[in-house]
Amino acid sequence: MAILECFGPERHRLNMSTAAEKTGMTRAAARRHLLTLEYLGYLDFDGHYYYLTPKILKFSGAYLDGSPLPKICQPLLNLLTNQTSLIYSVMVLDGYEAITIARSAAHQQTDRVNPYGLHLGNRLPAHATSAGKILLAHLDDEAQKQWLEKYPLKRLTKYTHTESEIFLKLLHEIKEQDWCYSCEEHELGVHAVAVPIYDANADVVAALNIVSPTMRTTKDYLITHILPLLLETARDLRQVV
């Protein structure tokens, strides 16, 4: 599993040396694991690098089929897209990343520009996304500090927050207002708004967000017109999650 976790949006291929370095294994151990994963059909080898194969998708499929949350969210996400011609998604926290587990159906007007994070299973750095920050904001103080110790804040654009103390204060503010606006922290030309999805026990189980190119929507539009729709949808989901 440690070998598979080496792959991600910024690393689509892997050799023995990199696998050993990233996992802390010896080169011999890394080679054995790579060969095993290749034998099982989860990796392909081109003579220099290992690549993930489509077989790996069976794990995400098992989660999406087995978890009720994506199925519950889907009709409401589609309704939001029908109302606004924008694309919405639901994300959960996994380590230092936020993962897309549900996404609204494509709309003819949304297909022209596809900002990051819109396909199922996409993993994004939590500290640089609206959904990720919402999820981090609802961790307790100690868990937030432990998260920062384990996952240093990596600069992705000139707008990314990289100072831990400032970031912790930001998380506190986000929790107080119960929504998060993020602009160009992960990708230039893209901004987003997210709200938490609570369950019946008042625990945050996911984040609902809208991601849009800045050339298409303004901050004022997202907060004035879209945020109320997100909050209303999150309230509806709380009744059934």
The CATH class given to the 4-57 domain equals mainly alpha
Q: How confident is the model at residue 110 (pLDDT cuts 50, 70, 90)?
A: very low
Q: Is the pLDDT of residue 62 over 60?
A: no
Q: Quote the CATH superfamily of domain 67-238.
A: GAF domain (3.30.450.40)
Q: What is the pLDDT of residue 149?
A: 93
The domain spans of the chain are: 4-57, 67-238
Residue with tokens 């994070």: 117
Q: How confident is the model at residue 42 (pLDDT cuts 50, 70, 90)?
A: confident
Q: Is the pLDDT of residue 191 over 50?
A: yes
Q: Comparing 113 with 99, which gets the higher pLDDT? A: 99
| Token pair belonging to 185 | 């922290």
Q: What is the pLDDT of residue 113?
A: 44
Task: Give yes or no for a contact between 186 and 157, defined as CB atoms under 8 angstroms apart.
Answer: yes
Q: Comparing 35 with 154, which gets the higher pLDDT? A: 154
Q: Is the pLDDT of residue 31 over 60?
A: yes
With 0.75 as the threshold, say if the pTM is over it. Answer: no
67-238 matches 4-57 in CATH topology: no
